[in-house]
A and B are shown apart, each in its own frame.
Chain A
Amino acid sequence: MSRPILSLLPFLTIISLSCTEEKIRTYRVAADDASSEPVATAAVPNAPAAAGPLRWQVPEGWKEEAVGQFQTALYSLGGDAKVSVSKLPGDAGGEAANVNRWQQQVGLEPSDEVFMETVAVEDDGISVKWCQLEGKTDSIMAAIISLPDETWFFKLTAPTLSIETKAKEFSSLLTSVEFAAKAAEPPAAPAPAAAEKPGIGLDVPEGWVKSEGSAMRVASFSIPGDGTPDGDVSVIPLAGQSGTTLENVNRWRAQLQLAALASEDDPALGKKATGVSGEMLITHMVSEKNVFDDDSKGGISTAILRAGETTWFFKLGGEAELVGRNREKFEAFVLSAKLP
């Protein structure tokens, strides 16, 4: 064979190597372990229920019912209150489509813009959002847990007048949700829950009592109300921007049944206070109507501190007079915050 022809050999080798069609592989293996398939919903009340990657604790007294086509679990809480758990692949059409569907279910007009509160955002693409829709007769509280490949919906539907009485149980279900893989680990030595949370340095005013809080809070306090409802103070860090200042302030104003502020009144344009950890925006608001059961007005004081990739929300909520009395204490409290 002549030398030039020899030099073509590698060229032909490359072409022949890269042009073969993939073959169907046939092999014999041990049957997949049944535990790798989605686990059926547990029927035993108060036992951990699980499906796919998630697992949760069913509160006592809830009765399991037959599930619908897209439901993974359905519970009856009594008094026409039901909690459904369902999952859909991908982003399930997006938040707006789902919230609009729920709005229609409680007799509200669908809107172009829906607001869901971001409760948690994890590094691995998992986020938890929350919304509450109040209809004339029925209301919905719902949490959307977005995983990288699928979206989970936990929805409480109940008569508007009684939904608040079911909210605590629903909240306990939500706080019990965890990943099945993690839950399947052998129990480790119990560690105080607070140890996992980022430690924040705070000068706690006299008279404020540390409260149980929730999984989201890194600090939680209660202000004894002396006959009126107790005030509640929370410190919550959320990843990212977590909405604009105006969106957050308008959400709090909505809780006090106050009209939303226009963009020209955006509190973010106002003066900021400088605390130990940087600049923060402190706002105070009082309701015009009586929003508490004892016909008293409500008040909310808040502070937003944006530090790096995290936004810190400080909030004092309660009866307007109590909030007013604690206004200066709240300001001193938030300005003392020393971030971890």
Chain B
Amino acid sequence: MSSPRNRKGIVGSVVAVLSSLRLTVLLLSLCMILIFVATLLQVEMGIHEVQLKFFRSWIAWFDIVPGEKRFPIPFPGGMLLGALLLLNLLAAHIRRFKLSWGKAGMLLVHTGIVLMLLGELFTAVLSVESQIRLDEGETSNYSLSPREIELALIGPGENGIETVNAIPFGRLREGASFGFDGFELRVTHFFRNSHIEDERLAGADYDPMRANRGMGVSLAVKGKPRETAMDLRDLTSVFVEIISPDGKSQGRWLLSNALAGVQEFEVNGKTWKMAIRQQRFYHPFSIRLLDFTHERYLGTQIPKNFSSRIRLLNPETGEDRETLIYMNHPLRYGGLTFYQAGFDNNDSTSILQVVRNPAWTMPYVSCAMVGIGLVWIFSQHLIKAFARRRTFAA
């Protein structure tokens, strides 16, 4: 059994390591390696996948052997490095903290860096990005995730209102089952990205499983690596079974975001609908696209300006107003920011990026703190230098 003195000694040496400048240098070096490797891998994996696997993960697995054979080695991921840097910075401050005007600049700079690290953490965990795609004259009260999908199970409607159970992508895996009102939905096969083919054309590399109900009958599916290009998205396919309370299967359906529309089934005389679709985020207001304008520089195809004139309708607050969203001039409303992100269909469709980021002010605040702190430190040095020169002159 260790004595209190020994325990204090162990804690002391752990704190000494945690607060050491050597650890800072080591962590920053590892950050550089991580960024370098991730930047190279971005070519083949795409920015989204790289962000997810290397920067927003605890362990980044580097596959160092080229070719099909896999030999991944573990490396500290962005979350781990960020957390350790934060710990390192805080431990150093807590250990050596002394409040004085002379140290105020350094304190401000470091607090700013802490805020920056926390801001990135909150952005990674709390921010949600989606898109609204509107044709001119079209109205929508929801936005869609550009990459993430969900399995939507829509209950019987009443007076035009439906109950939607949205199962997130993270919960979909082979063997997963979900209980609902009088039945169970079981995932029998799951393909993160897939190719669907008429079974008469499908080769031996296609999965032998087939649907026996719904629009997927006679279609074959094969798994594919995830799409890495920014403008492509995965076509996720799932085989699901609906199990009645007596344990009997009602059949097997193929759901995929490659198949347009919803598929129906009946349980206890009630009709349910289901579909794999891009994850939806409903808002308490709706947006109508009145006009989309795409100006180009004269005689070229180079875009000069995109703008969407929209009408914002909020039945709760009674708001009904028009506003213009254009490049570098987003609309901030209801905790969301709407950016002009793109266009389609010969300039008749506008794509708005919808961002919910509760921590969006943190980078501004942290940068301001670091800036003020640096000015403070430099001005202290300057004052000292002038004072020294005056002493020499005297």
Contact = CB atoms under 8 A, between A and B. Distances in A.
B170 interface: yes
B345 A182 contact: yes
B137 A29 contact: no
Contact of A28 (B137, B163, B259): B163
Interface residues of B, number: 58
A50 to B, nearest CB: 13
A92 B18 CA distance: 57
B171 A22 contact: yes
Interface stretch (B39-47, B191-199, B333-341): B191-199
Interface in B120-167: 121, 124-125, 135-137, 142, 157, 160-167
B135 A24 contact: no
Interface string A49-65: 00010000000000000
B102 interface: no
Contact of B94 (A6, A11, A179, A184): A6
Contact of B349 (A23, A97, A181): A181
A4 B91 contact: yes
B228 to A, nearest CB: 15
Nearest to A89: B258
Nearest to A10: B86
A89 B256 contact: yes
A38 B261 contact: yes
A18 B125 contact: yes
A28 B161 contact: yes
Interface string A24-66: 1111111110000110000000000000100000000000000
Given A10-B86, A10-B87, A28-B163, A88 B198 contact: yes
B260 interface: yes
A125 interface: yes
A22 B121 contact: no
B198 A7 contact: no
Contacts of B124: 18
B164 A28 contact: yes
Interface of B: 11, 14-15, 18, 58, 79, 82-83, 86-87, 90-91, 94-95, 118, 121, 124-125, 135-137, 142, 157, 160-171, 178, 195-198, 201-202, 218, 231-232, 235, 256, 258-262, 282, 344-346, 348-349
Contacts of B198: 70, 88, 92-93
Contacts of B231: 125, 148
Contacts of B349: 181
A26 B170 contact: no
Given A18-B79, A149-B258, A182-B346, A8 B87 contact: yes
B52 to A, nearest CB: 12
B18 to A, nearest CB: 7
Given A7-B90, A25-B166, A92-B197, 17 more contacts: A7-B18, A7-B87, A14-B86, A15-B83, A22-B170, A23-B168, A24-B167, A25-B164, A25-B168, A26-B165, A31-B160, A32-B162, A89-B196, A93-B201, A148-B231, A150-B258, A181-B348
A21 interface: yes
Contacts of B142: 29
Contacts of A91: 195
Contacts of B82: 14
Contacts of A124: 344
Given A24-B168, A69-B218, A185-B136, A4 B11 contact: yes
A14 B79 contact: yes
A90 interface: yes
A185 B347 CA distance: 12
A152 to B, nearest CB: 13
Contacts of B83: 10-11, 14-15
A28 B162 contact: yes
Nearest to B12: A4
Contacts of A32: 162
14 contacts: A6-B94, A7-B18, A7-B90, A17-B121, A22-B171, A24-B165, A24-B171, A28-B163, A37-B261, A37-B262, A89-B235, A93-B198, A125-B231, A186-B137
Nearest to B201: A93
A31 B137 contact: no
Contacts of B165: 24-26
B161 A7 contact: no
A216 to B, nearest CB: 17
A29 B282 contact: yes
A150 B160 CA distance: 31
A3 interface: yes
A184 B346 CA distance: 13
A105 to B, nearest CB: 13
B125 A17 contact: yes
Nearest to B167: A24
Q: Which 3 A-B pairs have the closest CB atoms?
A: A89-B258, A22-B168, A3-B94
A38 B60 CA distance: 43
B195 A7 contact: no
Contacts of A52: 260
A93 B197 contact: yes
Contacts of A25: 164-166, 168
B6 to A, nearest CB: 16
